[in-house]
Structure 1
């Protein structure tokens, strides 16, 4: 039996037994070094989530009660990452594949493990030949069509109106947030970076921090400006983060900004309350792109507005092409 054909669960059990006494180390954990070297807080949030999942897979989750593995109790720094080897990485890749994870997700997990191993080598906690064996584990190839759905403008209007009809500041904030997500198309990790001082109402633009810690400028339609202006007027905010948590009693938490997870919770909750089919923050971004392309905005402009490095990514949101493909297929008569 070849190395890649071995039972992945048995490979992880073998590794757990091998490193059972390695939970503590006098040196800084390579996972901490890897996180510190990432360019943005959004990247660190994503990688922390991956590390927690990996820690659970590797058997380093702290149980509060039998059968419970709450995410908050998983500390990636308890994992002896410096003892990773090629068999463990292959086992993780196979278990993720068996679990039905997407190619992109599996490759993200591989990238994180390789990045941690690289930091372990730099910190003289792992032999270079051990790292090279890990680095040679191949990423998966292929891609999948975008999941989710594009909301119709009627649904967006219903969603915003529902928020505005809700009592308290939370509804006004959520309407502005939804207006920003659909009207400008930022990622949820980008929308939480918006500071009030980065909004140019005269130029109808706003600056966000995107992937790779790069600042980019978004154009704001009039409806989005109206919703944001209403939020600022009602909240009394004049500087700092645009979107902040609101307590159940309607008080703004002024020393914190909304998190990407908070954005997800707001959108999914409001969608459910408005009686719409399931939708996520990325579906609002998808709706933004689909609306542009359906209205014959060229691919290059749409890609620039979305912050896509390549128009190939933007092309995947072309519904018009799908309709033309269907019409062409209907000509095949037999």
Structure 2
């Protein structure tokens, strides 16, 4: 082993300490010995692997893999690498679980996430993934066609102008000025821009530009833009329930000048909580100082559910995704064509809109 590979950075090491393989079956040329003088350069480049998937995805994978690990430990099975038959048995156990909140079985999407986590950690450790075994694939294909399973999959209903007006009236009943300003900005911006909750949470003050007749919001990254390509949303001030004045009021009231746009508030809703953002996901994982003072996607989800409940809208049918769905549906009701709608929401395939567009009244 070369001096360099003896000092691989943490991002190249799996949970069980195995070093990720840099070569496979000797397909790549390998120096006999690498000089220690390039160690810092190597570490600098290797540290970029922390961004190959998002922090939230990595956190979800870790949770799912922990569930698989506990199952293997319970039955005396090897976790990493795992036998494909262990994975099949795990699927059998998981598919019969009942969600205590909904009384339904776990959805296929949840099970797919479990397998994606197993695959991710096997590849990270340099192992062939057992999830790619033909028998595992056959089980999942059969699961997706099994109509006898009772799952809680449902489409969140779109929030349109009528529902949006109810939500804003409910927010206006708030006594706290900061809470009222922030939550109206979240609701109106989420609706007009067709943002996902994770996108709303990631918007920075520097991403927002107030022009003469529109609000321009830069989206640094999104589900369909993982590479950080330039992406803007132009939100006209003339549209009903335009977010322009609501966002401007929130910035005026909060006096936020930089960092995340949407912040956490004190319990009484009268002040901002202390704000800190780690320089990288690794710094956050290291626990030097936790990210604090700004809203996450789950926080926005809970805020929207809260106001839906207060406004008399079923929180089981309406959620954060209802804003994005409502944006698409309302623009369709307003006779906007598919290209215009895709430009607003960031969809890259017009076929994706079929899931959102509802028949006009």
If the length of structure 2 is used for normalisation, what is the TM-score? 0.66
2:254 maps to 1:214: no
- Quick check: 1:81–1:117 contact (8 Å CA) kept in 2? no
**In structure 2, which of residues 261, 279, 295 is the aligned counterpart of residue 242 of structure 1?**
261
Change (3 A) 1:97 1:293: farther
- Quick check: 2:159–2:326 contact (8 Å CA) kept in 1? yes
Once the two structures are TM-superposed, the CA of residue 150 in structure 1 deviates from its matched residue by 1.1
Q: How does 1:174-253 map to 2 (within 5 A)?
A: 174-202=183-211, 203-208=214-219, 209-211=221-223, 212-215=226-229, 216-222=231-237, 223-249=242-268, 250-253=270-273
- Once the two structures are superposed, what CA deviation does each residue of 1:201-245 show, in whole Å capped at 9, x if it has no partner? 115210122122535212224220011011111111122211011
Give me the whole-angstrom Cα distance separating, in 1, the residues matched to 2:314 and 2:48: 37
Answer with 95-104 or 229-238: which moved more: 95-104
Give me the whole-angstrom Cα distance separating, in 2, the residues matched to 1:217 and 1:80: 47
- The structure in which a higher percent of residues are helix is 1
Give me the whole-angstrom Cα distance separating, in 1, the residues matched to 2:154 and 2:234: 24
**In structure 2, which of residues 81, 90, 93 is the aligned counterpart of residue 92 of structure 1?**
90
Change (3 A) 1:182 1:80: farther
Once the two structures are TM-superposed, the CA of residue 80 in structure 1 deviates from its matched residue by 7.5
Change (3 A) 1:275 1:35: farther
- Quick check: 2:115–2:131 contact (8 Å CA) kept in 1? no
Once the two structures are TM-superposed, the CA of residue 292 in structure 1 deviates from its matched residue by 1.3
Aligned to 2:161: 153
- Once the two structures are superposed, what CA deviation does each residue of 1:276-315 show, in whole Å capped at 9, x if it has no partner? 2222101111111111122222223322322223111111
CA RMSD of aligned residues (A): 3.2
Aligned to 1:74: none
Give me the whole-angstrom Cα distance separating, in 2, the residues matched to 1:304 and 1:206: 13
Aligned to 1:262: 299
- Once the two structures are superposed, what CA deviation does each residue of 1:165-186 show, in whole Å capped at 9, x if it has no partner? 3122112101100111111111
Q: Secondary structure at the match of 2:257?
A: coil
If the length of structure 1 is used for normalisation, what is the TM-score? 0.71
Answer with 50-59 or 155-164: which moved more: 50-59
- Quick check: 2:119–2:130 contact (8 Å CA) kept in 1? no
Give me the whole-angstrom Cα distance separating, in 2, the residues matched to 1:146 and 1:286: 13
Q: Secondary structure at the match of 1:204?
A: strand
Give me the whole-angstrom Cα distance separating, in 2, the residues matched to 1:281 and 1:28: 40
